[in-house]
Amino acid sequence: LVSPISVMLALSMTANGADGDTLAQMEKVLGKDIPIDELNEYLYYYANNLPNEEKSKQLIANSIWFRDDEDRLVIEKDFLQTNANYYNAEIYKSPFTDQTLKDINNWVNINTDGMIDKIIDQIDDDTIMYLINAIVFDAEWKVIYTKGDIYQGEFTAIDGSKQISEFMVSGESLYLDDGSATGFIKPYYNNKYSFVALLPNEGITIENYINNLSGEELLKTIRSPEMTVVNTTMPKFSYEYEIRLNDILKNMGMSDGFNPTKASFTRMGRSSRGNIYIGEVLHKTFISLDELGTKAGAVTKVEMKDESAIMDMKIVKLDRPFLYAIIDNSTKLPLFIGTLMDLKKLTYYSITYGNRQRTVYNKKYTKLYIIMI
């Protein structure tokens, strides 16, 4: 079980911080080359016009959490404002401590009605931001199953084993047939949403069916049902699912964003520790379907990290004479400044006071220079 809209919303928020080839790849994967500004408009309209009623609930929440460390991380205000405007993203500047971990998981728990209790196990030192989407769906059937509609039966699992389950029987009116599978459409309360099921024909495995199914073909099938009497039987079920989407997104063409060297998220911000890139895209879902209706939840987390690419790494090895100082951080003025000339020989320096010259031995083997700033 996946929620395409959850993944889309989390990645689109992220794309608002991308630039160059990184942005171009994300635009191609997310919207088939639709510019991110237009995609923002479309997703804003789509998300805010989804039906949401008492017995047919659909809720979407977005949040951005970034590390509170101004010496390390600077976030672009336009990036935050765009995501607040189009995605109603809640913005949190946090210290990324154990308390932040609890706060993020608590936010996930609340915004999935308790269906998913956490999305993060730990916060790594190189993590600078989380962009998170949460979705809740909770709807009653248009016609609720009664006790007489439920019986015990066998479900044949993918490995051929037989599993005992409670099955629900109903009569529906929208029949689906795409030549390789048959199914039905079952409406939820007030006809705002529907459940769709497709069963591959005998001799066609579910893997082969899915591998040969395109998004266009699926939409065509759903949009052209046959009006007829359909006797349906389906089991009650409940399960959760988790998938790391990094490799899938790379294979779809969105590779630069995950590359510490190639990623360009300059419109998101900058880090003193190095380049900003996507560390992980994690997706979690939950569904429970029974005689009353369906509850489903989804969370997508985009984790941003900072890391210097090896080829761009600056190296300073103090293995010859060098200047050093002890400075006041607020003004950057030196309290002490000197040079290390020799690690073994005792050196000395001279300071002239008017007409007098005084020789001072330096027991730390340094030579002092007085620099007026």
Q: Give me the domains of the chain, ranges plus CATH numbers.
A: 4-139+238-310 (3.30.497.10), 147-236 (2.30.39.10), 322-368 (no CATH)
Residue among 371, 319, 317 nearest 340 (CA):
319
DSSP line for 64-80: EEEE--TTTEEE-HHHH
**Helices 36-48 and 77-87, packing angle to 10 deg:** 40
**Quick one: what percent of the chain has pLDDT higher than 70?**
82
Average pLDDT over residues 184-209: 90
The tokens 């089991």 sit on which residue?
235
pLDDT band per the 50, 70, 90 thresholds, residue 295 = very high
State the burial class of residue 160 (Cβ atoms within 10 Å of its Cβ: 0-12, 13-18, 19+).
exposed
Q: Confidence class of residue 40 from pLDDT cuts 50, 70 and 90?
A: very high
pLDDT tens string 118-166:
999 999 999 999 999 999 999 999 999 999 999 999 899 888 888 999 9
pLDDT at 322 over 80: no
Angstrom distance (rounded) from CA 75 to CA 88? 18
Tokens of 252: 């779809």
Name the pTM for this structure.
Answer: 0.82
Q: Rounded mean pLDDT of 162-173?
A: 92
Contact 233, 169 (CB under 8 A): yes
Cβ-count burial 47-73 (b if 16+ within 10 Å, e if not): beeeeeeeebbbebbbbbbbbeeeeeb
In the numeric block, which tokens belong to residue 146?
A: 């009664």
Name which of 72, 102, 108 is nearest 90 in CA terms: 108
**Which one, of 294, 272, 340, 323, lies nearest residue 75 by Cα?**
272
> Which of 124-133, 144-153, 308-317, 359-368 comes out lowest in average pLDDT?
359-368
Higher-pLDDT residue of 340, 3: 3
